[in-house]
Structure 1
Amino acid sequence: MANAREIRSRIKSIQDIMKITNAMYLISSSKLKKARKSLQATHPYFEALQDTIYDILVRAPHVNSVYFRRNDHIPLEERNIGYLVVTADKGLAGAYNHNVIKKAEEEMSKGGKNSLFLIGQVGRQYFMRKGKAADCEFLYIAQEPTLYRAQMISETIMELFENGHLDDVYVIYTEMITPMKSEVKMIKLLPLERKKFEQRKLGYPHALFDPSPEIVMQKLVPNYLKGLLFGVLVESFSSEQNARMTAMEAATKSAKDMLRNLELQYNRARQAAITQEITEIVGGAKSLKK
């Protein structure tokens, strides 16, 4: 059994770690609330954008837009498929990063000419170790999602799609469904699918698109994709903070359990030391009497 001094040292180190895990829990909680608030503030604007795109599709069904180009004639093994993978910049978030990376590897193994676009240092370092070079890396975005950064990503993706370098673009991220549940999702960014807008409502009973529906669509879609990517970034960031809160809460609970066991061991060790001292004193007194 370890002596009382060693046990006391372990108790002190665990108490210090518990302070850190508890602080990380509180920081993640604050970041989560801030992120959800920013997403809710922009939600009505991007909902209106989707309604307007649906208006154009209904009133001008034959509108020609490069963003709806499907290229169905290209077989799967020859399609240029881009995967935008959203991970965190650091760990200590349970299985958050592992689940996203696993999903990305599963999809990329299905075939096609894959292009990899990475957000987050964890994904970047993982694929570097695997020898898979990223076609583009968006640094310092995972920890601070903003509309400007979402626009920067969407412009890069759209330029590659418009120039024919990409036939399909998917984003793989984690969505926070409830505070207790997150789920890895893959959604299609480009080309846009008309059926996704069919459940929308008409924005206006009568609408005119000036100078033409095609030009209006050309202006709306980049803003729509920017909003969609901003929502993806915020959802991923929220899921990361939620996973970190859960991990830190579990770590704090484990630390408390360890402290209870160590305090019991400490009390036993101290009691054993006291008993030994008393035994030695009694033995010494008996020896003096003899």
Structure 2
Amino acid sequence: MADIKEIQDRIKSVNDTMKITNAMYMIASNKLRKARKMLEETEPYFYAARGMLDRVMRHLPEDSKDPFLNQHEDKDPKDVIRGYIVITDDKGLAGAYNHNVLKLAEEHIRQDGDNWKLYVIGEIGRQYFLRKNIPVDEEFHYTAQNPTLSRARWISSMVLEPYLAGELDEVNIIYTAMKNSLVCETHFEKLLPLERPKNNDEMLKMAGITTTLEEFLMLPSPEAVLDNIVPSLVTGYIYGAMVEAFCSVQNSRMMAMDTANDNAKQMIHELSIQYNRQRQARITQEITEIAAGARALKRAHELQAKMREANLQALKQQQ
């Protein structure tokens, strides 16, 4: 069993660690407020863009051959080359946030054989794939902690260029979104190619667009309209995913630090009980030793008194 000095050192160490986790909790809380504001400002544009795209897609001719539509329906699924935009964080200490994203990405990569390309956002993801000897086609530094529209536009251009060149057949994105203040979910979304909507009344309603019959004229051509809308939509979707991921990681870090604080308090409580028991045992031992010493001293005095008395009686008899 540890002695009192060791327990005191452990209590001090846990208290020092709890100061750090408390500071990280406050930092994550402030960043979460910033991220939620960014998310609120992003959602109206995203839903409006999706609504506009859905309107365009509903009025596209059936024989349209736009490159943003599914052009590899007759292609063997094993030969389809898929690109994955994987959004992780630059730091750890966020619970299972990074693990869930990387696990989902690795599952899809294994299913695709060698027909895939990775576009990684975040230092954790880059280091993970480096350790696994999984090649990364593009990596984007300092983006996970500072999502901006310009960076989303740059990432969008990096995936659209090989897609339009025929080097990619699909573009997918893997990120984490907040379901509520307690739960974050890992999402897998296909960005390209586009699919004709079947029933998207809810999205249209959120975009403020009615589903009444409308006359829709696309000039100079439906393909030209798509070529102008889709890159902006992909950029907006990537930016929205980055903001969602930034919001989720701050929420996950807050929860992780809160759990760490609770565990530290519980550990300090248990160590304090152990310390008090050890201290009480030491005090009891000291009292026992003092009492035993007092009894021994008393017996010694009594023995000396008896010896003096015996000596006196012996002298009297000699006289």
Q: Do Structure 1 and Structure 2 share a fold, with TM-score over 0.5?
A: yes
196-205 or 21-30, which deviates more: 196-205
Aligned residues: 290
1:54–1:197 CA contact under 8 A, matched in 2: no
Alignment gaps of 5+ in structure 2: 301-319
Distance in 2 between residues matched to 1:276 and 1:45, nearest whole Å: 74
Deviation at 1:5, TM superposition (A): 2.0
Distance in 2 between residues matched to 1:233 and 1:212, nearest whole Å: 32
Q: Which one of the candidate residues 206, 219, 224 is aligned to 2:233?
A: 224
* 1:76 alignment partner in structure 2: 77
36-45 or 165-174, which deviates more: 36-45
Distance in 1 between residues matched to 2:215 and 2:276, nearest whole Å: 81
* 1:12 alignment partner in structure 2: 12
* 1:282 alignment partner in structure 2: 291
41-50 or 114-123, which deviates more: 41-50
SS where residue 179 of structure 2 aligns? strand
* 2:93 alignment partner in structure 1: 92
* 2:108 alignment partner in structure 1: 107
Q: Deviations over 1:87-121 (max 9, x none)?
A: 11121111111111111121112235111111111
Q: Deviations over 1:218-250 (max 9, x none)?
A: 222111111111111112222222222221111
Distance in 1 between residues matched to 2:179 and 2:111, nearest whole Å: 27
SS where residue 2 of structure 1 aligns? coil
Distance in 2 between residues matched to 1:94 and 1:42, nearest whole Å: 26
* 1:184 alignment partner in structure 2: 186
Distance in 2 between residues matched to 1:254 and 1:59, nearest whole Å: 58
Structure 1 counterpart of 2:85, one-letter code: L
Asked whether 1:3 is paired with 2:3, we answer yes
Q: Which one of the candidate residues 273, 281, 286 is aligned to 1:272?
A: 281
2:87–2:174 CA contact under 8 A, matched in 1: yes
Deviation at 1:51, TM superposition (A): 2.6
* 2:257 alignment partner in structure 1: 248
Deviation at 1:133, TM superposition (A): 1.2
Deviation at 1:43, TM superposition (A): 2.0
Identity percentage of aligned residues: 48
Distance in 2 between residues matched to 1:126 and 1:69, nearest whole Å: 32
Distance in 1 between residues matched to 2:186 and 2:133, nearest whole Å: 24
152-161 or 109-118, which deviates more: 109-118
Deviation at 1:270, TM superposition (A): 1.6
160-169 or 218-227, which deviates more: 218-227
* 1:61 alignment partner in structure 2: 61
Distance 1:206 1:171, change over 3 A: same
* 1:40 alignment partner in structure 2: 40
Structure 1 counterpart of 2:88, one-letter code: T
272-281 or 161-170, which deviates more: 272-281
221-230 or 68-77, which deviates more: 68-77
* 1:258 alignment partner in structure 2: 267
Deviation at 1:11, TM superposition (A): 0.8
The 5-angstrom pairing of residues 204-219 of structure 1 reads 209-219=218-228
The 5-angstrom pairing of residues 91-240 of structure 1 reads 91-112=92-113, 113-195=115-197, 198-199=200-201, 200-201=203-204, 202=209, 209-240=218-249
1:3–1:269 CA contact under 8 A, matched in 2: yes
Distance in 2 between residues matched to 1:172 and 1:275, nearest whole Å: 62
Distance in 2 between residues matched to 1:197 and 1:172, nearest whole Å: 24
1:83–1:116 CA contact under 8 A, matched in 2: yes
2:91–2:124 CA contact under 8 A, matched in 1: yes
2:54–2:197 CA contact under 8 A, matched in 1: no
Indicate the RMSD between aligned Cα atoms, in angstroms.
2.2
SS where residue 53 of structure 1 aligns? helix
268-277 or 210-219, which deviates more: 210-219
Distance in 2 between residues matched to 1:50 and 1:275, nearest whole Å: 75
235-244 or 254-263, which deviates more: 235-244
57-66 or 107-116, which deviates more: 57-66
Distance in 2 between residues matched to 1:195 and 1:209, nearest whole Å: 18
1:175–1:184 CA contact under 8 A, matched in 2: yes
Greater Rg, structure 1 or structure 2?
2
